[in-house]
Amino acid sequence: MATFYEAYRAKEFLSKRMLKRKGIVGIGVGYADPKHPNKGAGINVYTDKIGPAAKRRLLNALNAAISIKKTPVPMRLITTGPAFATAAPSAGAITQAEYRRRVRPVPAGYSVSGLNGGAGTAGLIVSRDGQLFLASNNHVLSIDNFHTTPTVQPGQADGGTVANDHIGRLHEFVPLRRVGNNYLDAATSLPRNNRLLDPRYGVDRRTVQGVLLPSVGSRVFSESRTSGRRPGVVESVNTDILVRYGDPYRDLLGTIQFRNQTIIRGHFAEGDSGVVWLQDTSFGGTQAVAMSFAGFNLGTRSISFPMSWFNQAFRTQVAQPGGRTAHIRKINVRGNYKYAQPLTKKELNSIKVVRAARRK
């Protein structure tokens, strides 16, 4: 039976050699058998839609590669289709009317966008030095990976306009890279004033108590612009994955690589980008776990990064009503590879949070 550390080491080895092989979308760490967690850890290989013969060839190649490590780690091939991220919901997308309406002040979970013609989801309301920010994805709040743009709620795809629905502007973001590893698709919007934001979550206006790193098998839930309220489960962590970008970044980025992401099994559709998944705990109430930025074209899973990474990079905290911020409960999971890991100092230094440039 493989440990999660052994599975992580095997994933690192395979990812360097096999991630860009035709048919492979991502490689991560999960349960060897999700129905029987006591069977230990394994490697999840996410694949494009390929035929039985191609799948056998791919599995043989993966087994041949991993045999070099001389550590037996079970492997599962999971057919998902390619991973994609877009801020432009298709015309026929099924949406939840409640989450597409204009709402003031704006809580997490509702439609929002920059002036990119699309719509995503307001992930969470965060705070730094008393200033509130709306947290979501770069590709939801930005237009070109560089310039600032007004933020409207609801998003433009849901009828939002600057004249009637302007709530703020793109403030800071992590530029997405065509070459090298990406860790976050993330940005903040600075509101015109703090009163425009409601530091609570979803239809029930739930107060989030803190952040928790995702762990394999954890049961989570979320509320978002397209899918509304739904459950999910963390299927894999520390997943290296290739994500194809659509509008507004189709020509600018194409397909780019993300490292050590979290895969959550649960419905995800266009317009859900930016959603934050929550977990109810016995020790600390409702915790923010991960922010999704992409999904697979079969719609059954989302690709996310830990919300704690967002707070590390942007130096923010989860905001709460009354000007409070969430109490941070220290749980040491470093070295426990059933969990997503905190960003290392080297990784954090490689993530450049920049201020959006004003147009001249």
Question: CB–CB of 164/172 below 8 Å?
Answer: no
pLDDT of residue 197: 98
At 196, is the pLDDT very low, low, confident or very high (cuts 50, 70, 90)? very high
Q: What is the dihedral of CA 11, 15, 19, 25, to 10 degrees?
A: 30
**What's the N-to-C CA distance of the chain in angstroms?**
60
119 CA to centre of own chain: 16
Single-letter residue type at 215: S
**Segment (H or E) for 312:** helix 307-314
272 forms beta bridges with none
Tell me the CA distances in angstroms from 62 to 50, 73, 213, one per residue in order. 15, 11, 29
68 forms beta bridges with none
Q: What angle do CA 337, 222, 208 make, to 5 degrees?
A: 80
Cα dihedral sign for 272, 351, 188, 233? positive
**Phi, psi for residue 38 in degrees, rounded to 5:** -70, -5
**Segment (H or E) for 112:** strand 111-112
Q: Is 66 helix (H, G, I), strand (E, B) or coil?
A: helix
The DSSP-derived string for 233-251 is EEEEEEEEEEEEE-TTSHH
pTM of the model: 0.96
In percent, the amount of the chain with pLDDT more than 70 equals 97
At 331, is the pLDDT very low, low, confident or very high (cuts 50, 70, 90)? confident
Distance CA 344, CA 162 (A): 40
Q: Each residue of 201-210: pLDDT tens digit? A: 999 999 999 9
Residue among 169, 125, 119 nearest 147 (CA): 169
pLDDT of residue 309: 98
Cα dihedral sign for 62, 63, 66, 68? negative
Residue ranges of domains in the chain, CATH in brackets: 4-79 (3.30.300), 83-360 (2.40.10.10)
What angle separates helix 4-18 from helix 52-67, to the nearest 10 degrees?
A: 110
Q: Say which range, 189-203, 320-334, 341-355, has the weakest mean pLDDT.
A: 320-334
At 338, is the pLDDT very low, low, confident or very high (cuts 50, 70, 90)? very high
Q: Each residue of 283-315: pLDDT tens digit? A: 889 999 999 999 998 789 999 999 999 999 999
3 forms beta bridges with none
pLDDT of residue 146: 86
**Segment (H or E) for 295:** strand 285-296
Q: Each residue of 61-91: pLDDT tens digit? A: 998 988 877 778 999 999 999 999 987 665 5
Q: Are strands 83-85 and 228-245 parallel, antiparallel or unpaired?
A: parallel
Single-letter residue type at 329: R
Q: Which residues of 118-144 are buried (b: 16+ CB within 10 A; e: fewer)?
A: bbbbbbbbbbbeeebbbbbbbbbbbbe
Q: Each residue of 220-270: pLDDT tens digit? A: 999 999 999 999 999 999 999 999 998 778 888 999 999 999 999 999 999
pLDDT of residue 12: 96
Question: CB–CB of 319/125 below 8 Å?
Answer: yes
